[in-house]
Structure 1
Amino acid sequence: MTTVATGGQDSRTAAARRIVAHIAGHLQADLSLQLWTGEVLPLGPGARDDIRIVLSDPSAVRRLVLKPGLMTLFELYATGDVRIEGGSPLEAADRWDHGRAVHLPRRVNKGLIARALIPFLLAGRARSVGDAAYDPTGEAGQRQDKSARTDKDFIAFHYDVGNDFYGLFLDPEMVYSSACYADADQSLEDAQTRKLDLICRKLRLKPGQTLLDIGCGWGGLSCWAARHYGVKVHGVTLSEEQLAFANAKIARLGLQDRITLELKDYRDLEMTGRFDAISQVEMFEHVGFANHDRHFLEMHRLLKPGGLYFHQASVRRGGRDIGNITPQTTATRTIGRFIFPGGEMDTIGMTVTNLGRLGFEVLDVENLREHFQATTAEWSRRLMARRDEAIAMVGEERTRLWLIFFAMCAKGFERGSILVYQTVAQKRRAGKSGLPLDRASLYR
C-alpha cells in the first residue's frame, strides 16, 4: 500500500478533493466517498455518509486514469481497492440518479479533472484479480466467438461454484431466472412457483405429453411440470453440480419414472420429432450469436409438428441500426470475464425474426423486465444478508463480484437498458394452431 502524508498536505489528497467537489456538483448523489486517509467527502449536496464508497489506496485512481471503464471498476472492487461500506452495491447505486451518472463524462470539466489527476500517475500498483476472474486468453476464451466453441467450461465456471452458494440467495426450488410477481408484495418463493406454473400453462402441457427442458438447472421446472401437469420430462444440463442436485431432488420426490436428466449438450440429442414441448429458460444467453440459427433449427428438429417452444431470455434494447448489433458490449465483456463467460445477448427483434425465418410461428411475447428487476434486487438483498457465509464458501473476491453483478443487473432492468421476454412459438404447420383465441387461460 502507498503511504500518504497526514494533515491534508499530500498532493493526491488535495487533488482528490478538487475532483470530488467538481463531480459531486454534477452527480448530486446521496452518499459519500472515503479517501485512503480516512477523510470523507460528500458526492452531492447534503449527501449522507452512512453508505460510503471507499478508495483504499490512491493506486485505484491511477488504474482508473490509465484504463477507465467498467472492467477496471470490477477489478478494483473485487480486490477491495474500491469497496462499499454501510450497504450493498445495490443500496449504494440506489443513492444516485443513473441518468446523471451515464451523462457525467459529457458534463464535467475534462481539463480540470485531467490536471488534478496528474499526481496519481505516480501512485503504486493495485492488486490483481485472482481465480475470481475467467481467463479470456485461455483455450475456452479463444473459442468465445467461434461457431464450433465448447460451452461446458463456460458453464462450469458459472454454475459449478457450488450449489450451497446459490442456495444462499435462491428460493427453495432453486430457480435461477426471473420470477413472475403477481404484485409488489409477493415473496420471491411464491413469484418463482407462479413463474414455473405460468411456463407450463403457456406450453399448454397435458398429462402424458413429453417436455424437453434445455438447461434444466437444479430441476425446478422439470419437477414442477411432472408433478403438477403429469408430463414426462427429459432435461439436459452442462453443469455437473446442478445435475447432482436435480437428480437427488427427483429421487426425493419419487419422480424417477417421469423425469430423466443427463449431462449433455442439447445439440447432441438424437430425439428428432419426439417432444410435444420444449422449454428454454435463460440458457440462450450462453449460446452466442454465431450459434443462434443452429439453436432454433435444433428446436425445430426436436419438436413434433405443431409442438410449442417456450423461450425466456434477457436481451438488449437494440439500436437504430439493426444491421450493426455487435455480439459484445462493454457490459457483456465485463460480465463475461467475471460472471458469465461466453455470454451474448441479442434483441427481442432478432429473437422473433429468427424464429419466423427458421420454421416457427410466434404466438405470444411478454416483457418481464420489472419482474427481473425485483428478482435481482431480492437476490442482492439475500446474498448481502448472508455475505459472511458466501465468503467462507467462495472467497471474498467472488462474493464482491456477485454483489456488484446483481446491482448492475437490477439497475439495468430498472432503467430498461436490459430487458427479459417470454416468447412462445409453434413449429409451423398449415391450418389452425389449436390454441384458445385469448390469453385468459394463462392467468386463471
Structure 2
Amino acid sequence: MSAADTAAPLVARVDELAPGARTIRIRFWDGSELPSADGDPDAPAVILRSPRALSHVAWRPGEIGVARAWVSGEVDSDGDIERILTLRTRFEGLHFGSAELALLARTARRLGALRGGKPPIPETEFRKDGRLHSLVRDRSAISHHYDVSNEFYGLVLGPSMVYSCAYFADPSESVDVAQERKLELICRKLRLTEDERFLDIGCGWGSLVIHAAREHGVRAVGVTISEAQAELARARVRGAGLADRVEIRVADYRELTDGPYDKVASVGMYEHVGRGELVAYFASVKALVRPGGLFLNHGIARIAPHVKRRPWASDATFLSRYVFPDGELSLLGTAIEAAERAGLETRDDESLREHYALTLRAWVANLAAHREQAVAIAGSERERIWRLYMTGAALAFEAGEIGVHQTVFAIPGGRHGLPLVRKGLLPHASAPSH
C-alpha cells in the first residue's frame, strides 16, 4: 500500500472538519500523491520528504509540529510557498479531538513515522532562559533573531541595511530608495535640527543615526543589544566619516541614564517590549527626553478583527519559536493608551501597512536571488525560516491582519515646535539627494 493510500483516511477526516479548505495536493516520499479536495490537477503541492515529516506532527500536534517539519526540511512545497500560505486562514478553527489524535497516531505508526522515537528539535528553535522580558532573556531573544549573520542580513535587506518598513512613492521603485525616504520621513517628523541630541533605540546597523547626522547635523546615539549589529554599525559610522557625531552603544534602553535628548526614535523595536511592559517602556523614554522634545515610535500593531483569531503572543507558534521569541503585538490603541498613561502627548499617527507588504516582497525577492549564498552563510534552517516568515508576513499585511504605524509623541512642559499643517512633516516624493 502506498503512503498516500495509508494517509487517505486521516486526510479525509481533515477535509470533513474543514470542508473545501484543502485546495492543495499532498505528495509523499514514495512518489504517491493525494489530489486536492477540489480535484484541481494544477493545485500547489505540499511535499512530505520522509516519514519524519509526520513524526514531528505526531509528537507535537499543531503549529509547532508543522513548523519543526518545515524548518528541518522534512516538509517542503513545490516551489510556490505563497500559493500554499494563502490558504492558511481556511484551516483556522480546525481542532483535533481525541478521535482525530488517535487516527493521527495510527497513521503515523503505519507509515513508519514513530520508529526511532521523538525526532530531534531543529537547532534554530529558541530555548527560553530567564524571566520573561528580563534584561537577560531579552538579550537572548534579540541575539536569537539578530545575531544570525550580518552578511545574511545584507543579502536580504540590500545596501540600505534597514530592517523595518520602507516608504514607497510608487510600488515599482527599489526598496533601497524607499528606505532612504523612510529615514528622511522620520527625521522630518521629528523636526531634527543641527546639533540636537538624537537617540535611536534599537538602532540596528546604524542606518538612521548615520542619515540623521549626515543630512540634519545631529549628534546621535544609537543603542542595540545585539553585539553583531553594533560591530557593523560602528564600522559603517566610521566609513561615513561620522565618528565625531555618532556613537553606537551595546545597551538596553532601560540602562540609559545620560538624558535629556532633544529627540528620540524607536523603529521596529517596541514589538520586543511586551504588552505588560508598555507603560514602563514609554515612561523610560519620557525620562530620556527634554520637556518639549519629540519621540517617534514605529512598530507593528494587531488589527482589531484579527485579535482573537491569531495568538500573536502565544509560545506555541512558528513566529515565537523561530523568528521573534517573546515578541508581542499590541493594538494601536493599547500602545497609545500606554504612552499617554506614561505622560506623553500623542501628536501624529500614520499607517504604513501597504508599505510593509511591498518591503517584505522586496526582501523575499532578495533572498530568492541569493538563496545558495544565504544557505552557505546561515544554514538551510535559517533560510527556510526567513523565507516562510517573510512571505507569510507580506500576505498578512496585504490582508489587513496586521498593520504598522509611525506615531509621534510630544513631551509636555515645553514648546514642541510642530507645524500647524501636517504636510510639513512629509518628505518629498523622491528620495533626498546627497
Query: The TM-score by the shorter chain falls in which range?
Result: 0.7 to 0.9
Match of 1:56 among 43, 46, 49: 49
TM-score normalized by structure 1?
A: 0.85
Hey, what's the Cα distance between the residues in 2 that align with 1:357 and 1:372?
A: 29
Q: Which residue in the other structure is 1:280 paired with?
A: 266
1:135 aligns with 2:124: no
Per the alignment, do residues 371 and 381 of structure 1 end up closer, same or farther by CA in structure 2, a change over 3 Å counting? Answer: same
Hey, what's the Cα distance between the residues in 1 that align with 2:126 and 2:99?
A: 37
Hey, what's the Cα distance between the residues in 1 that align with 2:417 and 2:138?
A: 36
**SS of 2:295 mapped into structure 1:** strand
Q: Which residue in the other structure is 1:294 paired with?
A: 280
1:222 aligns with 2:209: yes
Greater shift, 33-42 or 212-221, is seen at 33-42
1:401 aligns with 2:392: no
1:82 aligns with 2:67: no
TM-score normalized by structure 2?
A: 0.87
The answer as to whether partners of 1:33 and 1:40 remain within 8 angstroms in 2 is yes
Give 1:86-101 correspondences, 5 Å limit.
Answer: 86-87=79-80, 89-94=81-86, 96=87, 98-101=88-91
- Deviations 1:248-305, CA, capped at 9 Å, x for gaps: 11111111111111111222122132x1100100111112234322211111111111
TM-superposed deviation, 1:121: 4.1
Q: Which residue in the other structure is 1:102 paired with?
A: 92
**SS of 1:291 mapped into structure 2:** helix
1:249 aligns with 2:236: yes
TM-superposed deviation, 1:58: 3.9
**SS of 2:337 mapped into structure 1:** helix
1:378 aligns with 2:362: yes
The answer as to whether partners of 1:90 and 1:406 remain within 8 angstroms in 2 is no
Hey, what's the Cα distance between the residues in 1 that align with 2:43 and 2:91?
A: 20
Q: Which residue in the other structure is 1:175 paired with?
A: 162
Q: Which residue in the other structure is 2:66 paired with?
A: 73
- Deviations 1:139-178, CA, capped at 9 Å, x for gaps: xx33225x56542222212111110000111021200011
The answer as to whether partners of 1:24 and 1:44 remain within 8 angstroms in 2 is no
- Deviations 1:16-37, CA, capped at 9 Å, x for gaps: 66457768961263x4321222
- Deviations 1:179-218, CA, capped at 9 Å, x for gaps: 1111221211111111111101110111121110111111
Match of 1:436 among 416, 419, 423: 419
Hey, what's the Cα distance between the residues in 2 that align with 1:77 and 1:427?
A: 47
Hey, what's the Cα distance between the residues in 1 that align with 2:216 and 2:6?
A: 65
Contiguous gaps of at least 5 residues in structure 2: 429-434
TM-superposed deviation, 1:329: 2.7
Q: Which residue in the other structure is 2:431 paired with?
A: none
Hey, what's the Cα distance between the residues in 2 that align with 1:9 and 1:171?
A: 43
The answer as to whether partners of 1:27 and 1:43 remain within 8 angstroms in 2 is no
TM-superposed deviation, 1:381: 2.2
Tell me the amino acid that sits aligned with residue 186 of structure 1.
Answer: E
Per the alignment, do residues 121 and 224 of structure 1 end up closer, same or farther by CA in structure 2, a change over 3 Å counting? Answer: same
**SS of 1:304 mapped into structure 2:** strand
TM-superposed deviation, 1:64: 3.0
Per the alignment, do residues 441 and 120 of structure 1 end up closer, same or farther by CA in structure 2, a change over 3 Å counting? Answer: same
**SS of 1:169 mapped into structure 2:** helix
Contiguous gaps of at least 5 residues in structure 1: none
Per the alignment, do residues 342 and 24 of structure 1 end up closer, same or farther by CA in structure 2, a change over 3 Å counting? Answer: closer
Per the alignment, do residues 151 and 204 of structure 1 end up closer, same or farther by CA in structure 2, a change over 3 Å counting? Answer: same
RMSD value, Cα = 3.0
Identity of aligned residues (%): 34
Give 1:31-430 correspondences, 5 Å limit.
Answer: 31-45=24-38, 47=40, 49=42, 51-61=44-54, 63-65=56-58, 67-87=60-80, 89-94=81-86, 96=87, 98-102=88-92, 105=94, 117=104, 119-122=106-109, 123-124=113-114, 125=117, 127-136=119-128, 141-144=129-132, 149-273=136-260, 275-318=261-304, 328-329=313-314, 333-429=317-413
Hey, what's the Cα distance between the residues in 2 that align with 1:42 and 1:318?
A: 36
The answer as to whether partners of 2:3 and 2:28 remain within 8 angstroms in 1 is no
Tell me the amino acid that sits aligned with residue 373 of structure 1.
Answer: A
